C-alpha cells in the first residue's frame, strides 16, 4: 500500500480527522507576473467562451461594521460611497460588454455579493441590476442574487432590486438568538430577523434564502436547536448551514487568542451539523450541497453550484474574483486604487494566475464532492482504470470510517462524510495527480501563454 494513501486515511472513532481542512482555491495555480497582467487580460477578453457555462460576480466591499467572525470585511460603509462606487461598477461592466469573452455565451447566474450589496442606495441598486441585465448576455432563466443583511435593507431597496429584475435574495442571519447575534455585532433582534424574512417571502417575487452558522460563540446545542426549529418554520426557499471557520483576519480570532471568547469543540460542531442534516431531511428539505438545503423547487442555488463545477466567472468590483479559460484573476481590493484605475479606463487587476492541466479534473472533484456524489470513473483522466485500482484502499478506508455510503467507485458521501467534505476534497486533489498517469488531453488550447 502506498505511503501517500495512508496519510489521508480517516479514523473510525468520533472524529474522522484531527481537524477540518481549509480549501485553498489558488493552491495549484501559477501566478502571472504583474507586468504581464495587461497583455494576459487582453488575451482573455478576446477569447470566446463557446460552450462553457458562464457566471458574473459583482462585489460591494462595504459593511456597516466588522462582524466578529467574518473574513470578508474591507471598508466601512458610508452613504456617500453608494453613488460613486455604483458609477464605477457600471463603467467597468459597460467597458467589457463588447468583448468575445463576455458576449460569446450565455451567463446563467449573477451574484451581487459582499460586503453588503443591500447597503447601496435604492436607485443605485436599480441602476446596477439594470446595467447587468442590459450589458451581459443573461440566459432567460438567469438567477440574479442580491446578498444582504437586515440592517439598511428597507422596503425601498427591496422594491428597487425586484423592479430591476433581481430574483433571489441571500440574507445573512447567522443565528436567530438575539444575544448571540448582538455579541457578533449584529444589531437586529432575532424577532426582527424572523419578521424580515417573512416579509421578503410574503412578497412572493423572488427566492429567499438565509445563512446560518453553527459553532458560534455562546451558541450551545439548545440555541442551535432553536435556530434549526426557527428556520424550518419559515416560509423561505433555502438555507445554508455553515460551520464556523475561525479565520486569522477576524476579531473573533483575536478574542479567542486572548481567551475572551471560547469556541465549541470539533465534536460539538459535528453533532450540530448532523442534527441539521437529519432534521432538514425529516422535514422534507432537499440537500443540494454540503451546506445548502432547498425547501421549494424555486430555489436552484445555481451560482454556488456552477462556481464549484468550475464555470467561467466574470468579476466586477473591488475585491471580486473571477476566472475563465483556466486563468483566475482578482479585481483590486484596495478601494482608492480600484477607483483610480477605473477612472483611468483600466481594469484594476491585482492578481492573475494560470491553472495546470489537472484543473478540469479538480473541478470535477470539487463539483462532485460539493454535490455529495462523485463518480471517479467519469474523471477526465488519460487512464481512469489505473486510478481506480490504486485509490481503492483509501476508498475502502473512508467507507469503513463511515464517510461514504458504499465502497464502489461512485463516492456517495454520508452525512458524516459531508461534514468532513473539505478533507476528502483536499485528499483527492493531492492524490489524483500522484496516482493517475496524466489528465485527459485538454479540449482547447490554453490562452495563458
Ligand atoms: C460574504 S458574507 C456576506 C453576508 C452579509 N454581508 C451579511 O452580513 O449577512 C456571506 C456569508 O458568509 C458566511 N460567513 C462569513 N464569515 C464566516 C466564517 N468565518 N465562518 C463561516 N461562515 C462565514 C456568513 O454566513 C455570511 O452570511
Ligand atoms: S458578515 Fe457581512 S456585514 Fe458582517 S463583516 Fe462580513 S460581509 Fe460585512
Which of 66, 151, 242 has most ligand 1 atoms within 8 Å of CB, for mutation? 242
Query: How much distance in Å is there from the Cα of 212 to the middle of ligand 1?
Result: 9
Could you identify the atom of ligand 2 that is nearest to the CA of residue 185?
4
Query: How much distance in Å is there from the Cα of 146 to the middle of ligand 2?
Result: 14
Could you identify the atom of ligand 1 that is nearest to the CA of residue 172?
9
pLDDT in tens, 251-270: 999 999 999 999 999 999 99
For residue 67, the ligand closest to its alpha carbon is 2
pLDDT of residue 53: 95
Which of 61, 63, 188, 242 has most ligand 2 atoms within 8 Å of CB, for mutation? 63
**Per-residue pLDDT band at 22 (split at 50, 70, 90):** confident
pLDDT of residue 155: 97
Residue 172 CB–ligand 2 contact under 6 Å? yes
pLDDT of residue 333: 83
pLDDT of residue 442: 67
Mean pLDDT of 207-230: 97
Query: How much distance in Å is there from the Cα of 107 to the middle of ligand 2?
Result: 27
pLDDT in tens, 95-131: 999 999 999 999 999 999 999 999 999 999 999 999 9
Query: How much distance in Å is there from the Cα of 72 to the middle of ligand 1?
Result: 7
pLDDT of residue 211: 98
**For residue 311, is pLDDT > 70?**
yes
Mean pLDDT of 263-282: 96
pLDDT of residue 28: 82
Query: How much distance in Å is there from the Cα of 437 to the middle of ligand 1?
Result: 39
C-alpha cell recorded at residue 12: 473510525
Domains of the chain by start residue, with CATH? 3-23+358-435 (no CATH), 30-308 (3.20.20.70)
Query: How much distance in Å is there from the Cα of 211 to the middle of ligand 1?
Result: 7
**Per-residue pLDDT band at 382 (split at 50, 70, 90):** confident
pLDDT in tens, 383-420: 899 999 999 999 999 999 999 999 989 999 999 999 99
Q: How many CB atoms lie within 10 A of CB 103?
A: 16
Query: How much distance in Å is there from the Cα of 71 to the middle of ligand 2?
Result: 8
> Which pTM does this prediction carry?
0.95
pLDDT of residue 214: 98
Residue 114 CB–ligand 2 contact under 6 Å? yes
C-alpha cell recorded at residue 353: 494566475
CA distance to 116, 133, 156, per residue, from 65 (Å): 10, 30, 22
Task: Name the average pLDDT for the chain.
Answer: 94
pLDDT of residue 1: 45
pLDDT of residue 443: 58
pLDDT in tens, 312-359: 999 999 999 999 999 999 999 899 999 999 999 999 999 999 999 999
pLDDT in tens, 152-207: 899 999 999 999 999 999 999 999 999 999 999 998 999 999 999 999 999 999 99
Query: How much distance in Å is there from the Cα of 73 to the middle of ligand 1?
Result: 10
Residue 67 CB–ligand 2 contact under 6 Å? yes
As a whole number of angstroms, the distance between CA 187 and CA 178 comes to 8
Which of 60, 67, 146 has most ligand 2 atoms within 8 Å of CB, for mutation? 67
**For residue 137, is pLDDT > 50?**
yes
pLDDT of residue 335: 96
pLDDT of residue 3: 45
Question: For atom 6 of ligand 2, which residue has the closest CA?
Answer: 70
Query: How much distance in Å is there from the Cα of 172 to the middle of ligand 1?
Result: 6
**For residue 446, is pLDDT > 60?**
no
As a whole number of angstroms, the distance between CA 13 and CA 284 comes to 30
What residue ranges line ligand 1, CB within 6 angstroms? 69-72, 113-114, 116, 147, 149, 172, 174, 211, 213, 242, 244-245, 247
Which of 59, 66, 70 has most ligand 1 atoms within 8 Å of CB, for mutation? 70
Report the candidate in 1, 6, 38, 102 with the shortest Cα–Cα distance to residue 352: 38
Mean pLDDT of 38-43: 97
Residue 70 CB–ligand 2 contact under 6 Å? yes
Residue 150 CB–ligand 2 contact under 6 Å? no
For residue 150, the ligand closest to its alpha carbon is 1
As a whole number of Å, the CA-based R_g of the chain is 22
**For residue 23, is pLDDT > 90?**
no
pLDDT in tens, 47-105: 999 999 999 999 999 999 999 999 999 999 999 999 999 999 999 999 999 999 999 99
Report the candidate in 117, 124, 215, 127 with the shortest Cα–Cα distance to residue 168: 117
Residue 184 CB–ligand 2 contact under 6 Å? no
Query: How much distance in Å is there from the Cα of 60 to the middle of ligand 1?
Result: 14
Could you identify the atom of ligand 2 that is nearest to the CA of residue 151?
3
Q: How many CB atoms lie within 10 A of CB 122?
A: 18
Question: For atom 17 of ligand 1, which residue has the closest CA?
Answer: 70
Amino acid at each position: 500500500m502506498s505511503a501517500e494513501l495512508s496519510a489521508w486515511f480517516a479514523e473510525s472513532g468520533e472524529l474522522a480527522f484531527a481537524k477540518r481542512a481549509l480549501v485553498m482555491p489558488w493552491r495549484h495555480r501559477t501566478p502571472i507576473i504583474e507586468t504581464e497582467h495587461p497583455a494576459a487580460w487582453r488575451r482573455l477578453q478576446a477569447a470566446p467562451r463557446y460552450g462553457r457555462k458562464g457566471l458574473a460576480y459583482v462585489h460591494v466591499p462595504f459593511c456597516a461594521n466588522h462582524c466578529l467572525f467574518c473574513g470578508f470585511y474591507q471598508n466601512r460603509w458610508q452613504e456617500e460611497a453608494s453613488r460613486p462606487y455604483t458609477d464605477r461598477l457600471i463603467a467597468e461592466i459597460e467597458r467589457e460588454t463588447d468583448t468575445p469573452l463576455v458576449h460569446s455565451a450565455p451567463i446563467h447566474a449573477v451574484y451581487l455579493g459582499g460586503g453588503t450589496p443591500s447597503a447601496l442606495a435604492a436607485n443605485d441598486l436599480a441602476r446596477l441590476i439594470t446595467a447587468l441585465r442590459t450589458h451581459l448576455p443573461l440566459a432567460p432563466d438567469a438567477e440574479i442574487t442580491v446578498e444582504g443583511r437586515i440592517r439598511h435593507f428597507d422596503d425601498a431597496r427591496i422594491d428597487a432590486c425586484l423592479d430591476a429584475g433581481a430574483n433571489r435574495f441571500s440574507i445573512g442571519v447567522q443565528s436567530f438568538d438575539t444575544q448571540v447575534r448582538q455579541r457578533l455585532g449584529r444589531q437586529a433582534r432575532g424577532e426582527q430577523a424572523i419578521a424580515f424574512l417573512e416579509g421578503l417571502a410574503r412578497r412572493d417575487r423572488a427566492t429567499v434564502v438565509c445563512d446560518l452558522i453553527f459553532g458560534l460563540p455562546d451558541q450551545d446545542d439548545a440555541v442551535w436547536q432553536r435556530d434549526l426549529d426557527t428556520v424550518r418554520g419559515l416560509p423561505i426557499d433555502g438555507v445554508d448551514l455553515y460551520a464556523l471557520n475561525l479565520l486569522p483576519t477576524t476579531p473573533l480570532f483575536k478574542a479567542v487568542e486572548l481567551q475572551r471568547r471560547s469556541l465549541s469543540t470539533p465534536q460539538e460542531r459535528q453533532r450540530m451539523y448532523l442534527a441539521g442534516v437529519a432534521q432538514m431531511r425529516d422535514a422534507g428539505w432537499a440537500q443540494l450541497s454540503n451546506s445548502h438545503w432547498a425547501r421549494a423547487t424555486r430555489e436552484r442555488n445555481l451560482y454556488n453550484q456552477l462556481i464549484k463545477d468550475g464555470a467561467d466567472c466574470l468579476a466586477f468590483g473591488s475585491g471580486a474574483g473571477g476566472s475563465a479559460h483556466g486563468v483566475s484573476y482578482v479585481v483590486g481590493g484596495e478601494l482608492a486604487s480600484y477607483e483610480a484605475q477605473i477612472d483611468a479606463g483600466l481594469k484594476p487587476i491585482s492578481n492573475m494566475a494560470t491553472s495546470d492541466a489537472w484543473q478540469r479534473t479538480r473541478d470535477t472533484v470539487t463539483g462532485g464532492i460539493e454535490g455529495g456524489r462523485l463518480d471517479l470513473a467519469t474523471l477526465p483522466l488519460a487512464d481512469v482504470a489505473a486510478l481506480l485500482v490504486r485509490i481503492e484502499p483509501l476508498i475502502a478506508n473512508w467507507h469503513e470510517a463511515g464517510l461514504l455510503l458504499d465502497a464502489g467507485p461512485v463516492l456517495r458521501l454520508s452525512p458524516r462524510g459531508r461534514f468532513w467534505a473539505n478533507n476528502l476534497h483536499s485528499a483527492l486533489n493531492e492524490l489524483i495527480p500522484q496516482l493517475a498517469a496524466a489528465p485527459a488531453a485538454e479540449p482547447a488550447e490554453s490562452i495563458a501563454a
